[in-house]
Amino acid sequence: MRMVKIITTALFVAGSLSFASAATAEANFKRCIACHGVKAEKVPPGGTIASATLKADEIKKTLRGYKNDKTYGGKMKMTMQLQVKPFSEEDLDALADYIFTNFYIAK
């Protein structure tokens, strides 16, 4: 019986964290709307592709590039570096998953 309680508690906590990540990602996405559109459908200024056309792993790679590699990016790299600077790696993953799950447009 004790094991059932432990497993139930672990599943509840994991579910709560997942919900918190999704809620945080939705709030964090609001920083993106001005340049990327309300559904990540716009090609941003200086960009070449809409985020909604990328898979989650491609978005994660791009966000990490801006956060961790000061030479990464094109004309707007400084803007993007400032945007992702306050985010943790987990925040970036959640944001990429949020964009892909809610707005993905197959090419």
- pLDDT per residue as tens, the chain (107 positions): 565 555 444 444 444 345 458 889 999 999 999 999 999 999 999 999 999 999 999 999 999 999 999 999 999 999 999 999 999 999 999 999 999 999 999 97
Query: What pLDDT does residue 12 have?
Result: 46
Query: What pLDDT does residue 3 have?
Result: 55
In the CATH scheme, what architecture does the domain 2-103 have? Orthogonal Bundle (1.10)
Structure tokens that stand for 32 in this block: 């993106």
47-71 as b/e: b if 16+ CB within 10 A: beebbbebebeebbebbbbbbeeee
CA quadruple 79, 47, 34, 107: dihedral positive or negative? negative
94 alpha carbon, distance to own chain's centre: 5
